[in-house]
Chains A and B, each alone.
Chain A
């Protein structure tokens, strides 16, 4: 496929609708170029000439594997350890202590849209430090739409960009440098379970229940209001009564649902299921 082949409007719309139907992710006009770039390679690999041909392939001919590749193409990845740290402070300074004082000793945490794993691994490392003495355990799962990023998460090998916010003491204890990469300690890698999950898939989401805390940060921005409402309702169902939901600092649920109670702790908004 020549580089000059551009993704034209009508094909873009068809692709966008196709992706939306299956993932809830809405590719806005301003992000059209991203889709264009990401799909180019895939189209060439599969032996097609252009975007429209590829669309027909997806629509009429493709198998589950191809759809998976499509999902890979539309999920954005770059994240890092200790991102938006105020959320972790609240988790360990308020939420876990609250659960403990209610007699709970097993915490269940879900990192939804975990990409390459930095978020759940950060929580795991912090937990290791805070609860050194034991007596309390945490079960944590990281999920994402894209298989590729989950594979990378399981490998636990990171770039210097990814670890740039990690405090020195954590670097020494949990990472090992190898060439230009940073390898996460096995004990932390083993502590997080990873699974592929599509947040708008009602059926799949039904299996998630009784979580104490859910992190869904900087994920909802990719959905339109309709899909957002659906996802948020699934997340609500996945929480135990009294459970907490964290979303990105620049996001809000105020025009999505009234089911959660917004709490503000240290000027940070957290959502609680009544």
Chain B
């Protein structure tokens, strides 16, 4: 199981990575949406965890691009952001995000949500990219 963690802040990436690695997931990192699109194409990833505010390509634009690509559109997207704004959340979900968490997040919150998204994939009978 591999998760792509996208965030422009190195400390945040590290912390989220630690939360996920402690549950046994493999983690790939990206700095922004463009970096993430490149990494998606080069590595097989089961879930994407992304920040919203990033330079060059933000989380919403990234999610939209991802969901347009037949190769990646089935990969669940969990947005993890400081933006508590309801409108922002609405926009994110419309862009195709599957879940939305507001920072600060705990290890449990992250892992619960990830587990829930993985269950969805199983239930869909989808290919896990494994």
Question: Interface of A with B (CB < 8 Å)?
Answer: 252-255, 257-258, 262-265, 267-269
A232 to chain B, nearest CB (A): 12
B63 close to chain A: CB less than 8 A? no
Residues in B whose Cβ lies below 8 Å from that of A269: 38, 41-42
Interface centre among B32, B55, B56 (most CB of A within 10 A): B56
Contact of A252 among B38, B40, B57 (CB under 8 A): B38
CA distance in complex: A269, B34 (Å): 11
Taking A258-B56, A264-B41 as known contacts, 18 extra A-B pairs with beta carbons closer than 8 A to each other, sorted by chain A number, are A252-B38, A254-B30, A254-B35, A254-B56, A255-B32, A255-B35, A255-B56, A257-B56, A258-B34, A258-B57, A262-B37, A262-B41, A263-B41, A264-B37, A264-B42, A265-B41, A269-B38, A269-B41
CA distance A258 to B31 in the complex (A): 13
Q: Which residues of B contact A (CB under 8 A)?
A: 30-32, 34-35, 37-38, 40-42, 55-57
11 contacts between A and B (CB under 8 A): A253-B34, A254-B32, A254-B34, A255-B56, A258-B56, A264-B37, A264-B40, A264-B42, A267-B41, A267-B42, A268-B42
Nearest CB of chain A from residue B99's CB, rounded to whole Å = 25
Collect the chain A residues with CB atoms within 8 Å of residue B41's CB. 262-265, 267, 269
CB-defined contacts of A268 to chain B, threshold 8 Å: 42
| CB atoms of A262 and B56 under 8 A apart | no
Contact between chains at A254 and B31 (CB < 8 Å): yes
Are A255 and B31 neighbours in the complex by a CB distance under 8 Å? yes
In the complex formed, the residue of B with least CB distance to A260 is B34
Distance A144 CA – B48 CA, assembled complex (angstroms): 41
Q: Find out whether the CB atom of B42 lies under 8 angstroms from the CB atom of A254.
A: no
Closest residue on chain A to residue B41 by CB atoms: A264
CB distance from B53 to the nearest CB of A (A): 15
- A217 shortest CB reach to chain B, Å: 16
